[in-house]
Amino acid sequence: MVEIKTDTSLQAMREAGRVVAHALAAVREQAAPGVTLVELDRIARAVLDEAGAGSPFLGYHPDWTPVPFPAVVCASVNDAIVHGIPDDRPLADGDLVSVDCGATLGGWVGDAAVSFTVGRARAEDTRLIDTAYAALEAGIGAAVVGNRIGDIAHAVGRVCRRAGYGIADGFGGHGIGRSMHEDPGVPNEGRPGRGMPLRHGMVIAIEPMLIAGGGDHHYTAADGWTVRTLDGSRAAHTEHTVAITDDGPRILTAL
């Protein structure tokens, strides 16, 4: 079931989203070669604590994995696409990092992700990341009343495929509100004009996950969480929580 949010609820979700934006900005600012992923998690945790927000990631335990998630961010490096568990490995020059963060504030959840490189970037990583942001932007642009979920999926997928990248198979965005994952699912590839019609008050997370090597396949690492590209190529992941409104898409996880 899709919950249509009231305008008051959208305002409350904007506050939750703003906390996520601040956490990700802080992480990005501090990330550098030599910094560990656990340190990045601590930085995000401090922002959540300061705002009085909880983490929908910490202790999250869906039935497909044996272990609850142990951190407030997912930190996925190089061939890791999503769901990376922050560990004490220091970042290296040229690493590609995707950080996903959620916050719960006043009972509402925000969810967003950024991809960036630390140190000297490889040109091919910059292109991959730029495309991940372009795909996100295209998806947000299609998140308008009168369109359908398939229009968003198509917009995201087209940007990825035209650039020659793979799209992580079986993963995608989702409705979001009082809990992190609600209906509807928001695939990263699809046919325009298909699926659920978009209405004022729907809130969704749009999150392209691109694979540099061009294939769509991945596997879950032995830690039960980290999703890695099957071909070992690098991946990028970007995400915003977006409200569909009569005035157009509203990015709730912007700064």
Chain residues 143-162 in contact with Mg ion, contact rule CB under 5 A: none
- Mapping DSSP to helix (H, G, I), strand (E, B) and coil, where does residue 240 land? strand
DSSP conformational letter for 187 = E
Q: Please give the torsion angle defined by the CA atoms of residues 176, 178, 181 and 184, in that order, rounded to the nearest 10 degrees.
A: -50
CB of 174 to Mg ion, least distance (A): 6
H or E element, residue 172: strand 172-175
CB 149 within 8 A of CB 206: no
d(C-alpha 132, C-alpha 168), whole Å: 12
Q: Which is nearer to Mg ion, 41 or 111 (CB)?
A: 111
48-56, 121-129, 147-155, 204-212 -> range binding Mg ion (CB under 5 A): 204-212
Q: Is 209 in the site for Mg ion (CB under 5 A)?
A: no
Number of residues that bind Mg ion (CB under 5 A): 5
Which member of 21, 91, 205, 242 binds Mg ion (CB under 5 A)?
Answer: 205
Which member of 111, 125, 137, 216 binds Mg ion (CB under 5 A)?
Answer: 111
Chain residues 216-245 in contact with Mg ion, contact rule CB under 5 A: 239
CB 166 within 8 A of CB 178: no
d(C-alpha 181, C-alpha 114), whole Å: 19
CB of 152 to Mg ion, least distance (A): 14
Q: Which is nearer to Mg ion, 96 or 109 (CB)?
A: 109
CB of 12 to Mg ion, least distance (A): 18
Q: Which is nearer to Mg ion, 114 or 128 (CB)?
A: 114
Cα 1–Cα 148–Cα 194 angle in degrees, nearest 5: 95
H or E element, residue 134: helix 123-141
d(C-alpha 233, C-alpha 135), whole Å: 19
Q: Which is nearer to Mg ion, 51 or 94 (CB)?
A: 51
Which member of 41, 79, 95, 100 binds Mg ion (CB under 5 A)?
Answer: 100
Ramachandran category for residue 244: left, alpha or beta (phi over 0 → left; psi -120 to 50 → alpha)? beta
State the residue for tokens 């963060």.
Answer: 101
Q: Which is nearer to Mg ion, 28 or 90 (CB)?
A: 28
CB of 179 to Mg ion, least distance (A): 11
Q: Which is nearer to Mg ion, 25 or 92 (CB)?
A: 25
22-30, 32-40, 95-103, 219-227 -> range binding Mg ion (CB under 5 A): 95-103
CB of 253 to Mg ion, least distance (A): 9
What count of Cα atoms within 13 Å lies in the side-chain half-sphere of residue 106?
A: 13
The residues that touch Mg ion, with contacts defined as CB under 5 A, are 100, 111, 113, 205, 239
